[in-house]
Chain A
Amino acid sequence: MSSNTPQDLPSDEELAQMSRDDLVKLGAKLDGVELVEYPDPWPVKGTRAEKRAERAVALWFLIAALAGFAFIGVFLFWPHAYTAPNTDGYFAYSLFTPLLGATLGLSVLAVGIGALMYTKKFIPHEVAVQQRNDSGSSELDKATILAELADAGDRSTIARRSLIKRSAGLGAGAMGLGIGVFALGGLVRDPWAQTESKDSLWHTGWKHDKPGEKVFLRRATGHAHEVSLVRPEDLSAGAMETVFPFRESEREDEHALSKALKRSDNPVMLIRLRSEDGRKVVKHQGQEDFNYGDYYAYTKICSHLGCPTSLYEDATNRILCPCHQSQFDALAYAKPIFGPATRKLAQLPIAVDEETGYFIARSDFIEPVGPAFWERKS
């Protein structure tokens, strides 16, 4: 600092003589700060007001301690196992989480308030003035720093070591290229390429792995590994059921069974129309035999943005999407009749297996499921 000329500084002997107060003032002065006012908040020691302030601070720390212990107690001993409403012990259980929050929250708050109160009551409220340096660096500083930088570059001898320059450029360049490939690589591979795998984007979990394989319609029962297949008589007229694909080869495979319920393009709405409504159905060209009597199977994935369109109105035979209010007509190949969706819901061809009497899917969807499939024909 230009204001601190060497002659202001005390000599070693003077330094040894200085009191702590003087050292504090000197330190502030060296930083360009002048302490205008530095009062002791309690000039008379041991007054009742001082004692009271001390007790108030201690009280908050005490509250923090009690709340902290209460938190530990609640955490260890309060009944926390799930208890259903309308049964004994539900009230106590329902207080578990709020009590955890309240006790720990109070503890944290009380520590904070205690610390703040201590600062307010006992730390001196000094008034300090610091000189502000408005102008930029001095010409001297600018000239010297430029010289130092140029000197450092010169002394590194990088200018005449072309081997290091080139190899460093190569290394850094290859590293940058790697990062670029990492970022762009996912965009280069064509995820839409035609493949025969059922995991490709052209197919859903309903695709038959091999010819002649039976893919059954399976309902979810709340147990991921339970296999409950659907017969025609299971659905009353005006019923809708969500079904998932099942293959006999998966019966013992718990991973496959639970995965089938979770794959995003698997859910299919199996709808049984009332027979008087079934007579009014208009079928899509090329999909005239996709239904089984009054049973129609449509994907649950909205053709607009892929929300689950499972709001089925059984009196109006409309299928609604809750996200953007698209509506589809179940009596006319699930074509969109309202809202932003512009394409029909994909229809799954179904039949009843003659051996077992359960519904089976005759093939995968013949049209893409879900939103905005590129270059879609239908």
Chain B
Amino acid sequence: MTKKQRSHTKGRRRIAGLLALGFALMTLGLLYSALAPQPQVAQAQGDPAALRRGEQVYNNTCISCHGTNLEGVTDRGPALIGVGEASVYFQTATGRMPATRQEAQIERKPAKLSPEDIDALMAFIQSKGGGTTLPEESGKQLVGDNPARGGELFRLNCASCHNFTGRGGALSSGKFAPKLDGVSETEIYAAMLVGPQNMPTFSDRQLSPAEKKDIIAYVKSVTDGNNNPGGNPIGGLGPQSEGLIAFIVGMAALVGITLWIGAKS
């Protein structure tokens, strides 16, 4: 053996040793993860820093109505244990929470919390008893490809309160179903999942994720100025306002034309 050859084999042996060590460590790790007992309590998914920040946000903005341990305060706010991150996302991203005052219905307003604060708060509330989570997708990914079927489902499940084209409508004692203009896809999805305020809940087994996405596709096709070929929806109230405008404008035009026909040239 030459010296060069010997150093070559030495290097090879060292590499083999390292590989064996790595393999052994990996096996041990896999065995541990397979055999170690699963914790029975819900665990925080986020990192500890996010949880601390979420707790900070909670203590600053939510604690007075929802209590020190999320247990709720009578006549102020409900318990938040087990409501889940989807509910937190809907309430804070639409600006409904933190609420300004107690009233029949808490209305949408610009979000008070930053997106980072919302994420941290979602992780914090989720760590307290779990609950409904948001889907993996967000935004445009939640728009299904069959708005016609979405329309069928919307008319069956949603239109009784939110109107056929998402204009909203009245409920009992000052409450109302809001109109669906300017609501993001994720917010609509979260609202169906958790049923905020007086809205019923639509679980994924009642309306499958594909059905929810089709509903979102339909909502997006009739709100935000869409489905408006005439240029002005005049309230989107259907035949009343349209008939009134047609009568007034049409009558004025007919009177004008009649005067022109009768005038001497």
Contact = CB atoms under 8 A, between A and B. Distances in A.
Contacts of A242: 156-157
Nearest to B177: A311
A313 B171 contact: yes
B6 interface: no
Contacts of B221: 84-86
Interface string B47-87: 00000000000000000000000000000000000000000
Contacts of B175: 313
Contacts of B2: none
Contact of A320 (B172, B197, B200): B172
A145 interface: no
Closest 6 pairs between A and B when the two form their complex, measured CB to CB: A222-B152, A85-B226, A222-B149, A313-B198, A310-B160, A120-B265
Given A220-B156, A311-B171, A318-B172, A239 B202 contact: yes
Interface residues of B, number: 40
A338 B172 contact: yes
Contact of B201 (A116, A236, A322): A236
Interface stretch (B17-25, B94-102, B203-211): B203-211
A206 interface: no
Interface in B132-149: 143, 147, 149
Nearest to B158: A310
Nearest to A231: B205
Interface residues of A, number: 41
Given A84-B217, A316-B172, A320-B172, A238 B229 contact: no
Interface string A234-254: 111111111000000000000
Interface string A324-346: 01010000000000100000000
Nearest to A315: B198
A12 interface: no
A216 to B, nearest CB: 16
Nearest to B221: A85
Given A86-B221, A97-B229, A222-B211, 10 more contacts: A85-B220, A98-B230, A98-B231, A220-B152, A222-B152, A231-B205, A235-B201, A238-B201, A313-B175, A315-B198
Contact of B229 (A98, A239, A313): A98
Interface centre among A98, A125, A242, A310 (most CB of B within 10 A): A310
B198 A239 contact: no
B155 to A, nearest CB: 9
A19 interface: no
A121 interface: yes
Interface string A298-332: 00000000001011111110101010010100000
Contacts of B211: 221-222
Contacts of A235: 201, 203, 205-206
A233 interface: yes
B122 to A, nearest CB: 19
Interface centre among B147, B157, B169, B227 (most CB of A within 10 A): B157
A363 interface: no
30 contacts: A84-B147, A85-B220, A85-B221, A85-B226, A95-B229, A98-B229, A121-B265, A220-B156, A221-B153, A222-B149, A222-B150, A222-B211, A235-B201, A236-B203, A237-B201, A238-B201, A239-B200, A239-B201, A239-B202, A239-B203, A239-B206, A242-B157, A310-B160, A311-B171, A311-B177, A313-B198, A314-B198, A322-B169, A325-B172, A327-B172
